[in-house]
Amino acid sequence: MKIVLMAPFGLRPKGTVLARMIPLAVGLQQRGHEVVIVAPPYTNPESSGTTEVVRGVPVKNIVLGPKHKALAAPFLAWRLFRAALDEKPDLVHLFKPKGYGGLSAMLQLCSERLGIRMPPLFLDTDDWEGKGGMNDQLQYSAAERQLYAFQEQWLPQRVRGVTVASRMLEELHLQMGIARERLLYLPNCVDDSPAGDGDKIRRRLGIAPEAPVLLLYTRFFEFSQEKLHLIFAEARRRVPGVRFLVVGKGRQGEEAELLQAAKADGFEDALVMAGWIEPMELPDYLAAADLAIYPFADTLLNRCKCPAKLTELLRAGVPVVADAVGQIKEYIVPERGGVLCDPDDWQGMVERTVELLNDPVPREALGKEGRRYLLEQFRWNMFAEKLELFYKISD
């Protein structure tokens, strides 16, 4: 079977294509299918009109149109539509219902309504886009918000099947009236990989081998910044020699806010800001940590998310103290693969973090068990098999 996966944006710097689409494509190819990804590379415009091969999967970047979003929309939607059909696929699977890809899918469905033969269309969703979701997080215009909310409701009703990355998204689509047999729970998964070289990163960053390292691997917007500042300040006060390694990039200047809090609250000397890290180097940075925190506010957006960063931490064998919100509860078995906290109990997360930083024996046991459970329950090849069956059942 020939399958076209339609990406919402390019390969870089956002994570959906590399973290979700490529592993699924690899899994489907291992099962004997031919998979091509078509992408609108407006996030990496230097790739416009080129084809890249990632882990054996061709990623065909369409030619970009005008720079203005409104002017670009019809060009990119049409070019995605044509690029997908030019592959003569047996089916098309759109990732994210909104934006240029969503417009292309709408064009495909409208063509089908006019009697033009089209391949079956599937939809993947890994975020809530409308009110209470990404629409409230990103700097969209009013027109964009209305379009994305409409696409999120209109497309699932009309495609052949919908894959959802979290249990909350599954529930929301059932509430839309989507039949359960047209839904497939398809969480973010992992492939096994060797451990990174954490000692190399410690040397590079000037962190002593014996120093306990608390890692925050984040995009910042999923939690209250005051909560983070409290955890770091208390850990600095109560854990001798602790260092805080922050990997990731914020959207609204959260790094500057953290640096200000570090000066005010007395943990500036313990703070190491690594920023955004190239994917190839990430395993080494994760391996440099003794413990990670994963604060996650109890919001609709977070309940719908399927945090790929958490799976990377668990796969690396890093023990995690996390808030018990949404999909996190699927990945962590309490007190076996990690520690789950009440998201409203800030002091509770402080106490468990400090406790584990000061006691390496249970910390290491949690890391090993978390990795074992993740690889046992959430491997891409397992869910690629489920996806293949879903395509066949939905035929």
Architecture of domain 2-189+379-393 in CATH?
3-Layer(aba) Sandwich (3.40)
* pLDDT of the residue at 353: 98
Give span(s): CATH 3.40.50.2000, the chain.
2-189+379-393, 198-377
The dihedral sign for the CA sequence 163, 167, 172, 178: positive
Reply yes or no: is the peptide bond before residue 23 cis, omega within 30 of 0: no
67 against 194, higher pLDDT: 194
d(CA 301, CA 132): 6
Q: Give the model confidence (pLDDT) of 263-281 as tens digits.
A: 999 999 999 999 999 889 9
Q: Give the model confidence (pLDDT) of 116-164 as tens digits.
A: 999 999 999 999 998 888 888 878 889 889 999 999 999 999 999 999 9
The fold for domain 198-377 equals: Rossmann fold (3.40.50)
- Which residue type, as a one-letter code, is found at position 324? A
Find, among 294, 9, 250, 285, the residue nearest to 126 by Cα: 9
Q: Give the model confidence (pLDDT) of 323-348 as tens digits.
A: 999 999 999 998 888 999 999 999 99
357 against 16, higher pLDDT: 357
Average pLDDT over residues 305-316: 96
Average pLDDT over residues 252-261: 93
pTM recorded for the entire structure: 0.92
User: pLDDT-derived band of residue 394, with 50, 70 and 90 as boundaries?
Assistant: low
* pLDDT of the residue at 247: 97
Find, among 178, 209, 6, the residue nearest to 91 by Cα: 6
Q: What is the mean pLDDT of the chain?
A: 95
